[in-house]
Structure 1
Amino acid sequence: MSGNVQIMKKEDAIRISKEKAHLLPLVEIHMLHTVAGALLNRDFNNRHKVLHYGGTLRGRFTSQAVLHDIRFGMETEQDVHTKYLPEMVKNAVKEKAAEDEKVLQTGLKLVSQVFSSDKENKKKKDADVEVANDAKVLKTEQIIDVDRFTVDAYAETIIAMAKEVNAGAEKLQDAAKGVLKAMTTSSKDRPLSDVTALFARMSSDQTYSTVISPLMVSHAFTIDPYANDYDDYTAVDDYLLKSGIIVTDDDGCEINSGAAHMGSADISANTYYRYCSICQTILFENLCVGKPFDAVDELIEKTYKLTAYFAKQFISSLPSAKQTRNFAKTMPDAVYIDKGISMPAISAANIFEKAVVPASGKSVCDIGVERLQEFMDKSVRGCFVDRELTGQYWMSDRYDAPKNVSAIKYKDIDVIVRP
């Protein structure tokens, strides 16, 4: 409870999300996307990532290669994926305690105590020898999604404990333990930023809780066999040519015309199958935690807005590797979207277990679309499913929508995520 405003705890958010489940359909996106002449996602050897599937080598790119760009577009300096939570807390303490130098200095000492990874420093018993090393950059061991609510909670708790230390009520090390205990106790009930609510986080630290993700995103893979080519390239030292300097080899032969550097990278052209689902019930639950009860209707609208935003970004995004010289962004060939209340998510990956090869005048994508449309029926009427869709939608400039499936455009996604 904050003043007269009642705040939802985690258990409240879970209960209310179940009550509102009929307003929050699961949304699935299936895509076929043809890309030519690109190296979308590389391994440590600078080669295209691959996998064996159905006895055939396929190209792939990871879900994170797409999700990073989407998340980065939503992040701010206070809502960000980082190891630098301690630095963010330190800056917040400086801002909030700027008018009280004594509290500020004690607060900075507490920041060092709470986040220091120096075991010897933590074992010291004499609080008087502890100093605030403002020049030392502290980091967490794990990279996590940090939000402004966590930063503010840390800063406010540290400042409150700093005042206790200055008043002689607490020793510095005991105050640091008090900060950690308070942050652990409040972690599951603290509000989350939109970024964390959508992309979630896995935490190994009890002071900021693990958040379940509403997203399920598959690695994209090629529906046709992967056969790479090698993009051999050279770099010429233009300074030698412009300045007229003559460079010779050991035999006195001019070598200015050669390459100053040579390299090689994979390049390929394939049609990818991509999949994701957005569980709006979980997203709504994440958004509710730490928010007022009277904001429920507003949070439902925010859930629709974030779902539509992510869906649009997912459809229009590709990995950004090597795009300045291997620009690969094209429009998807076909996008199938469905939705349903309290239904399980189902990928269409196994319909491409047998690699697609062009045949009878049909391209890889032509045949891929036929298979995807077969899946659209089996995902509802197949012998392994028990779910009811409340909407089926088709987006494509190349292929007509199947019978009884609504043809939509990109801008319509804002509407179809609703029940």
Structure 2
Amino acid sequence: MIIELHLLQSFPVSNLNRDDVGQPKTATFGGQLRGRISSQSLKRSARLLLQRHGLEPDETGIRTKRLITKTATLLGERGRDEAEAVAVASSGLLALGFGLDKRRSALTEYLLFVGTDAVNLLADYCDREWDRLVADAAARAKAAEKKKTDNTKSDTADKQSKIKPDKKTRDEAKRILDASRVVDVALFGRMIADNKDFNVSAASQVAHAISTHAVVNEYDYYTAVDDLQPDDETGADMIGTVDFNAACYYRYANLHLNQLRDNLHGDTDLMARATRAWLHAFIDAIPSGKQNSMAALTPPETLLVVVRDTGAWNLANAFLQPVDTNDLMVTSTRALFGHFNRLRRFYGDDNLRAVIAAAVTTDLEGLADHEIAPSRHELVSRTLAATKV
């Protein structure tokens, strides 16, 4: 079973998601330049809201390269020497089969997506294996010093960064990285290239948001004056530019409930709360880029939820021909539902369990009365009811 969420959301002057030169991200679609918000940005914005919508802190995860330093701090609080604990935690992660950053050995080789209890579990492992890991850390330090002294190229460090653990140690690693109760890992997946046993297939797919109309990025020229500038001096002490645009975006995400159930090992209570949190979090998700200076905090105005047994329809092609009108939200809403209803008539709706739509300012055309919800609360309630077999 699949839940699809389609949103139309208009943002005023904003730079929610920047590219490498600081401009709002864009994409060419239908032969026209569109505003774009990356799926990564939207997923992170949603992830940060999951606890607000009913999940406990230990049911969400963290994405970090700093597992070693956090573990060392905890070991220090337990009475271990914190400097030594950094080396021990590094050896611990190496023993578990994970690489270290080649330039900063106190960081992991890549971001790890783990549950919030991973630090405690890794600290417990390091405590139990302390003497062995201390010896390993000393051997690694000696090899590194020898390499530096000899000033010769050696692959010793690289070999040490890739250790193949035995079965007992692999089981320990699985316990530390267990994600069976980590909702955001279950939703958005986890890929560890050299430790495929820890990969998790994402239950939720998220599209890049694109504007329903053509956009042209603009820029704001600003100046700042020193408050303590002498009265006989004039001029600005800082000048610069900030890029922005204003756009009405089409947003799309879906949630595969069977995959979510598998990822959460069949925990039906957690699955129900995760589904509810996912719905609310994606409705509320707004990227944080330049919000302090632009405050583009506008909620979605048109919402469409489709609950289906199989298949999935991204409705972005409703805007393949860009909307060209002063009333962007009304026209975009009509285009969205017109496209959806045409697809529905052509492909049939035998696999649709429910269609629920709501809009703040626009009349919804082409839907039956029972498919229109008067509020967000009603839309979410009907959606959750439709997912129950």
For residues 350 and 327 of structure 2, what CA distance do their matches in structure 1 show? 32
Equivalent runs, 1:135-174 vs 2, <5 Å: 138-162=106-130
1:368 maps to what in 2? 332
C-alpha contact (below 8 Å) 2:188/2:202 kept by paired residues: yes
1:26 maps to what in 2? 2
User: Aligned-pair distance for 1:393?
Assistant: 0.7
1:330 maps to what in 2? 298
Deviations along 1:245-276, whole A, 9 cap, x unmatched?
x3xxxxxxxxx321212111222222111100
For residues 181 and 74 of structure 2, what CA distance do their matches in structure 1 show? 18
Tell me which of 362, 365, 368 is aligned to 1:399: 362
Give me the TM-score of the superposition, normalised by structure 2. Answer: 0.76
For residue 390 of structure 1, give the secondary structure of its aligned residue in structure 2: strand
C-alpha contact (below 8 Å) 2:50/2:281 kept by paired residues: no
Match status 1:409 vs 2:372 = no
Deviations along 1:273-319, whole A, 9 cap, x unmatched?
1100011221221112xxxxxxx5xx213212212212112112222
For residue 376 of structure 1, give the secondary structure of its aligned residue in structure 2: helix
For residues 237 and 83 of structure 2, what CA distance do their matches in structure 1 show? 55
For residues 377 and 313 of structure 2, what CA distance do their matches in structure 1 show? 25
For residues 214 and 232 of structure 1, what CA distance do their matches in structure 2 show? 43
User: Aligned-pair distance for 1:364?
Assistant: 2.5
User: Aligned-pair distance for 1:356?
Assistant: 1.1
Match status 1:347 vs 2:314 = yes
Letter in 1 for 2:64: T
For residue 86 of structure 1, give the secondary structure of its aligned residue in structure 2: helix
C-alpha contact (below 8 Å) 2:62/2:114 kept by paired residues: yes
Equivalent runs, 1:222-237 vs 2, <5 Å: 222-237=211-226
Tell me which of 15, 18, 37 is aligned to 2:13: 37
Count of residue pairs the alignment pairs up: 344
Deviations along 1:215-252, whole A, 9 cap, x unmatched?
11111111111123321111112211xx43x3xxxxxx
1:86 maps to what in 2? 68
1:291 maps to what in 2? none
Equivalent runs, 1:58-73 vs 2, <5 Å: 58-73=34-49
C-alpha contact (below 8 Å) 1:26/1:280 kept by paired residues: yes
Match status 1:260 vs 2:226 = no
Letter in 2 for 1:112: S
For residue 382 of structure 1, give the secondary structure of its aligned residue in structure 2: helix
User: Aligned-pair distance for 1:70?
Assistant: 2.5
User: Aligned-pair distance for 1:105?
Assistant: 10
C-alpha contact (below 8 Å) 1:183/1:207 kept by paired residues: no
C-alpha contact (below 8 Å) 1:312/1:410 kept by paired residues: no
For residue 251 of structure 2, give the secondary structure of its aligned residue in structure 1: strand
For residue 399 of structure 1, give the secondary structure of its aligned residue in structure 2: coil
| C-alpha RMSD of matched pairs (Å) | 3.5
CA change 1:105–1:266 in 2 (3 A) is closer
For residue 239 of structure 1, give the secondary structure of its aligned residue in structure 2: coil
Q: Percent identity?
A: 24
C-alpha contact (below 8 Å) 1:83/1:140 kept by paired residues: yes
Unpaired runs of 5+ in structure 2?
52-56, 141-159
CA change 1:224–1:208 in 2 (3 A) is same
For residues 60 and 106 of structure 1, what CA distance do their matches in structure 2 show? 47
Deviations along 1:97-151, whole A, 9 cap, x unmatched?
65xx79x99977542323469xxxx9xxxxxxxxxxxxx9711010121214544
For residues 348 and 183 of structure 1, what CA distance do their matches in structure 2 show? 47
Tell me which of 165, 184, 188 is aligned to 2:170: 184
User: Aligned-pair distance for 1:375?
Assistant: 2.7
2:90 maps to what in 1? 112
C-alpha contact (below 8 Å) 1:115/1:138 kept by paired residues: no
C-alpha contact (below 8 Å) 2:174/2:198 kept by paired residues: yes
1:314 maps to what in 2? 282
Letter in 2 for 1:261: M
CA change 1:90–1:232 in 2 (3 A) is same
2:251 maps to what in 1? 274
C-alpha contact (below 8 Å) 1:147/1:193 kept by paired residues: yes
More divergent stretch after superposition (185-194 vs 61-70): 185-194
User: Aligned-pair distance for 1:31?
Assistant: 1.1
Deviations along 1:349-368, whole A, 9 cap, x unmatched?
1221111111xxx7232221
For residue 263 of structure 2, give the secondary structure of its aligned residue in structure 1: helix
Match status 1:202 vs 2:191 = yes
CA change 1:207–1:335 in 2 (3 A) is closer
1:216 maps to what in 2? 205
For residues 179 and 408 of structure 1, what CA distance do their matches in structure 2 show? 56
Unpaired runs of 5+ in structure 1?
1-24, 123-135, 247-255, 289-295
For residue 12 of structure 2, give the secondary structure of its aligned residue in structure 1: strand
Give me the TM-score of the superposition, normalised by structure 1. Answer: 0.71
For residues 217 and 350 of structure 1, what CA distance do their matches in structure 2 show? 16
